[in-house]
Structure 1
């Protein structure tokens, strides 16, 4: 390094040269350190699955006092129709606010206020810098941070903003993908006709029910339910009426299932329900029977909907034990079905 003046009339003190070199190295070290800090910011953000997790990482990566505010439709699947100048929504949401070694998220405020509690912010900070957040042509929101003009390093803030733009876009896409996968998994567990659990959904969720019952020290009731005369309804009145009857039974069973119970359609006119033992088998069966009788009175259909039901209680710990209870309740159900047929004959 050579320090001089154009006129050469002033002698340069070697100590001044040393001070300038030290200052340069100090700036380079600070820049390298902040760059490593930003690499860590990127790496940690990939592991975040919730706004709370992301806000925590962001708060530790930004300035001491900072805000990241997003459009209120940022994480929704569709953009709001009305935006200010096609950029910001009428209200913004605080994605992250850090202060006094703490952070918070979720507060909603009017966009015209720029920040929540703006008067208090201006009373506490002399200088604020706002930076837009966007990815390509999509406006995300803006970031703000307080700073001291003497010690402010713009390149650090610029690096943080550039990384945050990419992080927010990646986070939004992950959120949408997770929601889509969750919805796909949910659909795969539901019977498309009735909307209640199918066989896959039953086995997926019955584990939680028997685990909860075991912790409470109680057993469960397993019900096998079969519709009566579905073939006759289909033959005489058409499959649309048969489907209507199946949907009616599914809906009534769901309404009668105690909170936390499971109602599922295994196929055709076969249903399985599981409730906690404390809720009472007779009570459940009576509710379903009364509901079906009420439905028949109001439906004005040329046929009556009826069911045969068998049930068994136990304290299963595995799916095999659930299957054993289902087989036992099936046997009872078919016994009742034979009685129903003999009465009609």
Structure 2
């Protein structure tokens, strides 16, 4: 069933503000809208990588809102959701209701699959460098060792060389882990430590690594492309502003959008279509291979683009601070429309909350997982293309309070979960212009409003005197002593839990211990990649600490980039436990860095200290001593990085 004559295609993905997701949605929507479809996108604001994180449970709830009876088709992105089991549930529900399902980059039984021909186009790019530019000696910077996408491109590189009678062995391939820092290390290893001769060309498995290679070569007075050709892969925005502009490949999102739309139309009409379709890339022949002369004609454009992005990021940060400041100060939910309308430039916004979330004595505390949403949904705010309408109440199955107002426009409808940790509070709808800034603004807004609204929800509980005071206080305690970003205890919660455990620690020859941890280069990550990436790094360190600490250890974020782990253990085991903790902590971060594909490493310095539980015990002294040891390690790591940079 669809509304009127409009057919709706559902889309399940995460982090829609990322470049590749955005480009796909923009192209798909162009073709779908032309064919009379509308996109309804169910977007998780995190990628669900940490399956056991309560915040992941909260984000996952957005997929429980899907109105299957309204859909004509569904598109799922398993890779963007780390193959979370919720996707299998969505696919099953669709197939049970005879809704055609399209899966992107992963074959799923009962679905048609669309993927990009990563290996074929990479081989074409290698062939172009050899056949058209005469390169005889080539080297390759691959991604993460063992990664399927990276291994495909290595095979394509090997095939291109061997079929043309050029020399190949595995020493011609190195690994840059899909980002710049390991790539700089690889360049130093090849050309400084091993003193290899510079090849005719270096082909890279993505653009971030290619930009790092090009920058390294030019710093060492190797001209690109005259002395060494450099090519990338992915076609990111930065590639067109780097000097020389990168020769690269970009997914043909437009073609995929066209073919998906045509396939959906065929399936709805009862016709058959191929079960698997592979879409090509576009080879962008630019300056770094020599197809175009190196020029600086758009340097001003690049500078302006960077300035605009910094300015817009600053505006988004200001919006986040305003949300987190104003919402918790509300006296009632009725104040929310005034705050949003006066301060937030989001032309279409629907703010929907569970109908019982402010009803004592429970305050909607049971809305988790399968019971995430109430039968009745309270629409606190609805504004469509700057026009505000009255609040109302709808059934959960309706989802859209004014479907005609939204479906009459071609822009995709975005659905996001409103939650605090794993507690579902409701959902938000947006229908922004299809620009990267608008999508990033929506993501920033949701990150801020989830924390702020969770705080407001807690305050409303505090103000209510009812027969369920114990349950209300328990929920308040959870919100009061936890850090909203990581889910760890905050400083207040740490002190409370530590003193409680110390009071109950009666064993002889036991000591207290404190591990101080500090995220390295948070300012650099924030300044270079934005505060969203800084938040991701903070969350990664928090998860590493949880992974390394024991079941009874107390794990907390004190604020900013500062963390602490405390607890109690036999004095004889302190050093052994410290070493085990350090090893597991570092192993977790290494695995995370290898798989996350971020353009920066997430690293942290730690300091450990244990103190006997006697009459001289001083918790603050123990924290200061652990901090001193942590800062000593941080200084050592900083000197090591500086020495490495000087050497390169």
Q: TM-score, normalised by structure 2?
A: 0.26
Q: Quick check: which one's helix share is greater?
A: 1
Q: TM-score, normalised by structure 1?
A: 0.48
Pick the structure with greater CA Rg.
1
